[in-house]
Amino acid sequence: MRTITKKPEVLAPAGTLGKLKTAIRYGADAVYIGGNAFSLRRRAGNFTIDEMKEGIAFAKEHNAKIYVAANMVTHENDAKGAGEFFRSVRDIGIDAVIVSDPALIEICATEAEGLPIHLSTQASATNYETLNFWKEEGLERVVLAREVGMDEIKEIRRKTDVELEVFIHGAMCISYSGRCVLSNHMSMRDANRGGCSQSCRWKYDLFEVDGENDRQSLLGGEPTEDFSMSAVDMSMIHHIPDLVEAGVESLKIEGRMKSIHYVSTVSNVYREAIDTYCKDPDNYKFNPAWEEELWKVAQRELATGFYYGTPDENQQLFGKRRKIPVYRFIGQVLDYDEETGIATIEQRNNFGIGDEVEFYGPGFTHHYQKVEQMWDEKGEPIDRAPHPLMKFKMKVDAPVQPYDMMRKKK
């Protein structure tokens, strides 16, 4: 009977303190966050030092780690204050920083000695010689470029002992390793310094231009996605055995700007799949419920990116959508009374009596029921929960726990 001696960590995104706690509750071994500087996600809820401290305390209680992304490409004067920033996150107990720019790596290594550095995927590390170079520079982990295939990962693992981190789920960038200037050109927002306007996701058309302002579509009607540059999302849920056997230390989920619904669901699924395989690899069977669960939060179609060859046209989004997500996040459990079977819920989307809902929680627990009784905070019966973030009570058919989630079909 085979045994797995090294279980890879589940590394989840956390755009806010609430998402950090959600990811860890739902099975993440580590989370990656952004600070108020040097990150590639300006519009995410980037963390202050005080928020980082609270996150660190929570993570330590749950034996989890926190990494800070400082992965922007610096221009002149962008690196100002970097030394102080890296010392600050080191001194409060951050486990590592994720960096791509050699200037920031040098600053961190010299001015914040002792703070572990991970190489960002933005640096496009695609071979073992590159990893060995960064090892000599003092880096202990490399996030491989998303263009690296499974066979290449296996060869890299054989020829270097640097820790490997790979993306396994989430959005894919149409540009090589995410280094894009479309956003700069079209909206004056620098994607490589945190301002990406998602230009590749826009809908495009073909126009005939007559004069400065007069243009006419050659196709007619509203802009379509016939000329889209948009990639489908990545999902490696079917290939957990390959990732574990390849010796990858960290399996990374994309999405610092995604909701707690997304973070909880995806972390939960990959935690369950990895634990199932590592517990008994000889008798492992893929559970179709894992893929079904991921589709409840998917925004685009799913594929395996570059892991098993170069993506073809079926891994691009164009024309009519081939599959549409059908679930909506509607609430989070705040409390549960075992004697009465009544749960206190915080609403996230409108629903009411008669709706079929699903509860899910950490450990891949689920139950389904019809909503039959609801009360407002004053104890008055209500038939709907229409107000954002309103708190109410409802009768549940099975025990639930604080931080369990609710959703329903659209």
Q: Which domains does the chain carry?
A: 9-172+232-317 (3.20.20.380), 176-217 (no CATH), 327-409 (2.40.30.10)
**DSSP H helices in 226-358:** 240-245, 260-279, 288-295
Going residue by residue through the chain (410 aa), what tens digit of pLDDT does each one get? 787 878 999 999 999 999 999 999 999 999 999 987 666 555 556 899 999 999 999 999 999 999 999 988 888 888 888 999 999 999 999 999 999 999 999 999 999 999 999 999 989 999 999 999 999 999 999 999 999 999 999 999 999 999 999 999 998 877 777 777 776 777 777 666 566 767 777 777 777 777 766 777 777 666 566 666 788 899 999 999 999 999 999 999 998 889 999 999 999 999 999 999 999 999 999 999 999 999 999 878 899 999 999 888 778 877 666 566 689 999 999 999 999 999 999 999 999 999 999 999 999 999 999 999 999 999 999 999 999 999 999 999 999 999 999 999 88
pTM score, whole prediction? 0.90
For 13-25, give one letter per residue: b (16+ CB within 10 A) or e.
bbbbbebbbbbbb
Q: Which CA distances in Å does 99 have to 89, 117, 120, 121, 161? A: 13, 7, 5, 9, 19
Cα–Cα distance measured from residue 53 to residue 295, given in angstroms and rounded to the nearest whole number: 34
Decide: helix, strand or coil at residue 400.
Answer: coil
Cα–Cα distance measured from residue 96 to residue 343, given in angstroms and rounded to the nearest whole number: 39
Residue 258's contacts (CB-CB under 8 Å, 6 or more residues apart) are 13, 15, 19, 170, 297
Backbone φ, ψ for residue 69 (5° rounding): -80, 120
